Structure 1
Amino acid sequence: MENLARQVLICCLLTTLLVLLPCPVMSREVEDESEFNYDINSEKGPLHWGEIKPEWSICNSGSMQSPIDLLNKRVQIVTHLGTLQLNYQPSNATLRNRGHDIQLEWLEGTSYLQVNGTQYVLKQFHWHSPSEHTIHGRRFDLELHMVHETPSGETAVIGILYKAGKPDPLLSLLTNELEGVSDRMAGAETAVGAMDPRMVKIGTSTTHYYRYIGSLTVPPCDQNVSWTILRQVRSVSREQIRLLRVAVHDESNSNARPLQPVNKRLVQFNKPTQYQY
């Protein structure tokens, strides 16, 4: 009996320790976006996201929220951040209507971004129109978010800004699929086969970018997200923007969260010495 009691006690202690051990926070965006919207005047709008669910409270109370305005006087110019370490490879992907945006999910985990020695696997692309981040108060026509995660749930996002003009090569490849999901309800998805993330054509933008610590721009608004916003503005056609908006059936002209306070955060701009900014 004494041995049995000792075993039961040990099991109880081990269970308690497992409960108390900290678990990694999975900084993942909400997949079912029907519970919130982008209407400023709505009870489900961005001013009230933090009130909809207790686990979304940081959307209202957090001090490191995104997006922000990348204003000259707030930005610290540095030269040491270096070239973005991207290793992108083709992978099978799925296009999904999430209710308030369109997501391109990469299925095989073959592409990654490396930041400060940490490897973040490319998980998905999604688009916001107009742009969420602004530069010196200027808002652009579209913003692409390239979302990367570590196995423990740390998140790093690359943001690319677009102005209306020539078509974007990646979206040109997805035209038929975008038209297909636009005829279906939110949550619909379609396989698009092997897609190459390098179709985004980042080019020389890998050395000229802003860097700061922020949050997801949709609930649950998890913080400690490493943001990289490329300085080079790319081009997208108005028809491609229209397709992205029509496909989601949310009756909104925008899926961009309002700007958030910078507070005392460090915002850096990586500027090679030969680059004139």
Structure 2
Amino acid sequence: MRPLSNLLILVTILLLSTKWTIAEEVADEHPFDYVEGSKKGPPFWGELNKDWAACKIGKMQSPIDLSSDRVRVVPESGILKRNYKPQNATLRNRGHDIQIKWVADAGSIVIDGIDFFLHQAHWHSPAEHTINGTKYDAELHMVHESAMINGKIQIVVIGVLYQFGPPDPLLEKLSKHIQSMVNTEAEMPMGVINPSEFPYRGNKYYRYTGSLTVPPCTEGVIWIMNQEIGHVSKEQVALLRDAVHDYATMNNRPLQLHNGRFVDFYDPK
């Protein structure tokens, strides 16, 4: 009976091992990634899903280089009216980035007389946009949406570029929570987070029309890129990279062509 018993044990181990391997592979599946040479990387996003065609054929894609030869100075002040307010939020590891999402009305920003309501914010590292070819260490995106206008929702993204320096105060506050969700697509309530704690300062900014920088790469997005550069520590950027999955440790989409687009620069002075 012993050989039969040993055979049953071996078969059981093999079955459990196979089941665990399959479960691991399913859990590790992701619709797109940032890995160089991967068939799911940025050059192939537009081929992975018919709804992502804009990633390949779009003519107003983001990010771009905010180069001086494409910039037009706008004489009007262009001061942005922000009406943010503290609201309950959750922190989520989406696998490809770390996101803060407000669960109710966190206020809005007014652009061209339209209210764009803040929904979520997330980070990319290294930064996606550049200024005259200068690369930065991380980038914050604050994503806003309008109410339905002519059957469509319009999107505004406020972007802040970071360079290495002192720790960012908000990321410092979130660090222990981010650490707790390393490599786990978890979500946790954070209580009240005030959008004004994000490092968006000043009224000098670049503005252009582009797209989302992740699939489906939807175009028509208004980008507001703050000219003032924020600061973030090397340890904070390392944590943002460690927390996400391996396929997104460097989750910056490559620069896209301008395709004739100009960038407006607003300076209240």
Shorter-chain TM-score: what band?
Answer: 0.7 to 0.9
- Is the contact made by 1:102 and 1:248 (CA closer than 8 Å) also made in structure 2? yes
- Is the contact made by 2:106 and 2:119 (CA closer than 8 Å) also made in structure 1? no
Choose the corresponding residue for 1:49, options 45, 53, 77: 45
The Cα of 1:266 is off from its aligned counterpart by 2.4
Amino acid at match of 1:190: M
Q: Does 1:84 align with 2:80?
A: yes
Q: Does 1:34 align with 2:33?
A: no
* Counterpart Cα distance in 2 of 1:229 and 1:251: 26
Give the match for residue 195 of structure 2. 197
Amino acid at match of 1:48: F
Q: Does 1:268 align with 2:264?
A: yes
- Is the contact made by 1:33 and 1:100 (CA closer than 8 Å) also made in structure 2? no
* Counterpart Cα distance in 2 of 1:252 and 1:196: 27
The Cα of 1:161 is off from its aligned counterpart by 0.3
* Counterpart Cα distance in 2 of 1:238 and 1:104: 21
Please tell me whether Structure 1 or Structure 2 has the larger radius of gyration of its CA atoms. Answer: 2
Amino acid at match of 1:70: L
Runs of 4+ with >3 A deviation: none
Q: Does 1:245 align with 2:246?
A: no
Give the match for residue 63 of structure 1. 59
Amino acid at match of 1:193: G
SS at match of 2:184: coil
- Is the contact made by 2:206 and 2:224 (CA closer than 8 Å) also made in structure 1? yes
For 1:110-259, what aligned pairs fall within 5 Å after superposition?
A: 110-152=106-148, 153-182=153-182, 185-186=184-185, 188-203=186-201, 205=202, 207-259=203-255
- Is the contact made by 1:33 and 1:98 (CA closer than 8 Å) also made in structure 2? no
- Is the contact made by 1:92 and 1:107 (CA closer than 8 Å) also made in structure 2? yes
The Cα of 1:202 is off from its aligned counterpart by 2.5
* Counterpart Cα distance in 2 of 1:58 and 1:80: 33
* Counterpart Cα distance in 2 of 1:102 and 1:252: 11
Unmatched 5+ stretches in structure 2: 1-27
Amino acid at match of 2:114: T
1:149-198 CA distance string (max 9 Å, x none): 0132210000000001101111111011101111x522x11111101111
Unmatched 5+ stretches in structure 1: 1-31
The Cα of 1:265 is off from its aligned counterpart by 1.4
Give the match for residue 10 of structure 2. none
Q: Residues 127 and 33 from structure 1, CA distance in 2 versus in 1: closer, same or farther, beyond 3 angstroms? A: farther
1:111-147 CA distance string (max 9 Å, x none): 1111101111100000000000000001100000000
1:48-103 CA distance string (max 9 Å, x none): 00000000011000000000000001100113151111111111110111111001
**Percent of residue pairs bearing the same amino acid type:** 48
* Counterpart Cα distance in 1 of 2:58 and 2:204: 28
Amino acid at match of 2:128: E
The Cα of 1:251 is off from its aligned counterpart by 4.5
SS at match of 2:119: strand
SS at match of 1:176: helix
Amino acid at match of 1:56: W
- Is the contact made by 1:33 and 1:99 (CA closer than 8 Å) also made in structure 2? no
- Is the contact made by 2:123 and 2:138 (CA closer than 8 Å) also made in structure 1? yes
* Counterpart Cα distance in 2 of 1:33 and 1:58: 23
* Counterpart Cα distance in 2 of 1:163 and 1:169: 14
Tell me the C-alpha RMSD between the 2 structures.
Answer: 1.5
Amino acid at match of 1:38: Y
For 1:12-27, what aligned pairs fall within 5 Å after superposition?
A: none
The Cα of 1:252 is off from its aligned counterpart by 4.5
Amino acid at match of 2:133: G
